[in-house]
């Protein structure tokens, strides 16, 4: 009986560790923006050049963002599955070429309230269920 109890405790510990693992892998990974999924399905966006739109949540609480021709540093707050950005960080102010999604990317990301990692993809959920930003790790 004692062996069964110890085995059960070990299995539960591993299960809890596995559940928390997805949340920690969001930090330190460079994510490439793939798509925006509008909740209403009206304004969906597929990103033609994901390598130009990246997000890295650094251990120090800063977010390194590449928004096409601009580099941005924001701070972020992460609490379990809640994720919010302080958008008042330094940024280059280059005028990106016509057709760039830089402003849309930054605007939508600034409205993030939570995240989920599913099937190796990061989904940033926007305020008021306005949609999701989909990312793939680089």
Model confidence pLDDT, tens digit, residues 44-78: 999 999 999 999 999 999 999 999 999 999 999 99
Residue 24: per-residue pLDDT = 62
Q: Residues of the chain whose pLDDT is less than 50?
A: 1-23
What is the set of domains in the chain, with CATH numbers?
2-137 (2.40.128.270)
Residue 22: per-residue pLDDT = 45
Match 């994720």 to its residue by tokens: 83
Residue 8: per-residue pLDDT = 31
φ/ψ (deg, to 5) at 91: -155, 145
Contact 111, 3 (CB under 8 A): no
Is-above-0.95 flag for pTM? no
DSSP tag of 44: -
DSSP tag of 43: S
Residue 21: per-residue pLDDT = 43
Q: What are residue 132's DSSP bridge partners?
A: 37, 125
């Amino acid at each position: 009986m004692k062996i069964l109890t110890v085995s059960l405790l070990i299995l539960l510990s591993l299960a809890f560790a596995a559940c928390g693992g997805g949340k920690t892998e969001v930090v330190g990974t460079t994510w490439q923006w793939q798509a925006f999924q509008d909740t209403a399905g009206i304004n969906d966006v597929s990103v033609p050049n994901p390598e130009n739109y990246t997000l890295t949540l650094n251990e120090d609480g800063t977010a390194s963002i590449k928004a096409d021709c601009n580099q941005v540093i924001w701070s972020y707050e992460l609490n379990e599955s809640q994720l919010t950005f302080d958008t008042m960080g330094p940024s280059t102010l280059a005028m990106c070429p016509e057709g760039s999604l830089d402003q849309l990317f930054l605007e939508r990301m600034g409205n993030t309230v939570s995240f989920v990692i599913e099937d190796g993809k990061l989904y940033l959920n926007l305020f008021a269920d306005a949609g999701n930003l989909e990312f793939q790790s680089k």
